Amino acid sequence: MGIGDDAAVLELTPGAALLATTDLVIEDVHFRRASASPRDIGWKALAVNLSDIAAMGGIPRWALVALALPASTEAEDVDAFYAGMREAAAPHAVVIVGGDTSASPDGWMINVTLLGEHSGTPRLRSMARAGDAVAVTGALGRSAAGLAALEQGRAPARAGISSGAIEEITRAHLRPTARVAEGAWLGAQPSVHALMDCSDGLATDLGHICRESRVAARVRLERLPVSSAVREAARALGKDPIEWATGGGEDYELLLTCEAAAAKALADGLLSATGTPLTVIGEIAGGEPGVTWLDARGEAVVMQAGYEHFHG
């Protein structure tokens, strides 16, 4: 009720808590028009918010979409933007219930606020405990590999990457899939302690868990789930696939800590419930908050520590 009125009027499931998250997506900061279509931009602007709700173990419900566009924008680009957004929203029955539009003096700017609900106990970044296993859904480094390929310009195949690999990594960058079903399933398991999404890169995000839970983490680099497409792109572009996996960001996988003894059952259960793998990549210990990276011989190595957008 009230859509098109001053505010949307929404009915939460009785007893559920409300979840709310908001994300800015700005041209030449978060995307480039040269490599992202309006449909991609709409998809991703919604997907990054879906991922935030998934990271709380919640159910996404309603989106508010604010869109500022230059006067020169074509109507078909605006239609394609909303089509991409609806395409990302549809599998989750998320409805756009309100928004705002404005002229932009410069490029495209999008703000999406996503509202969701949660009927149990949301898992927070502060809930990791010493002795926990650290695990991640899916695979890491795809989005960074896709960005690197796109930044090569319009003919990434010339860089010597197969079209199948290009498709996998550019899709991961332009049309990321939020782990909504995985978040809801994981968030309902008592053995899951801390849960968040891996949007700023494993190094930064696991660092948040360490700081907010006042624990240390050790990650075994050889255990990081990195797809052959990412390894292929890294070889072709002269990059380190492990750096993409630890520092690349925008993978929108879920990062969690859980009771170590329950990790295998969790992975089996998640795979059977959603088809998505869960990989144990390390463990939580007491001590000074921070992430230690261990190589195959168990020796600490230094990895790049974060993810920056185009700017700066």
Q: Which residues bind its own copies (CB under 8 A)?
A: 1-2, 4-12, 14, 17-24, 26-30, 51-53, 55-56, 58, 62, 64-66, 68, 71, 97-107, 109, 111, 113-116, 118, 122, 124-125, 196-197, 212, 309, 311-312
Q: How far is the CB of 74 from its own copies (least distance, A)?
A: 17
Work out the angle between the directed axes of helices 38-54 and 75-89 (0-180°, nearest 10): 30
Nearest approach, Cβ of residue 296 and its own copies (Å): 32
Which phi and psi angles does 276 have, rounded to 5°? -100, 130
Q: Closest distance between its own copies and the C-beta of residue 218, in Å?
A: 23
CB-based contacts of 162-168 (< 8 A; 24+ apart in sequence): 162/232, 164/229, 165/228, 165/229, 165/230, 165/232, 165/233, 166/233, 168/142, 168/227, 168/229
Question: Residue 104 or 304: which CB sits closer to its own copies?
Answer: 104
Residue 178 or 230: the one with the smaller Cβ distance to its own copies is 178
Q: Which is nearer to its own copies, 1 or 302 (CB)?
A: 1
Of the pair 52, 283, the CB lying nearest its own copies is at 52
Number of residues that this document lists for the chain: 312
Distance in Å, CB of 226 to its own copies, minimum: 24
The residue (of 23 and 168) whose beta carbon lies closer to its own copies is 23
CB of 94 to its own copies, least distance (A): 13
Q: Give the CA dihedral 236, 240, 243, 248, nearest 10 degrees.
A: -10
64 and 98 Cβ atoms separated by less than 8 Å: yes
Distances (CA, A) of 143 to 16, 208, 250: 34, 20, 6
Selection from 210, 190, 224, 204 nearest residue 128 by Cα: 210
Instruction: Sort strands 133-137 and 278-285 into parallel, antiparallel or unpaired.
Output: antiparallel
Q: How far is the CB of 2 from its own copies (least distance, A)?
A: 6
Which of residues 52 and 168 has its CB atom nearest to its own copies in the complex?
52
Residue number, 196 or 291, with CB nearest to its own copies: 196
133-137: strand order across its sheet: 192-198, 253-258, 133-137, 278-285, 216-220, 290-294, 300-301
Q: How far is the CB of 29 from its own copies (least distance, A)?
A: 5
Query: How large is the angle between the packed helices 180-187 and 263-274, nearest 10 degrees?
Result: 140
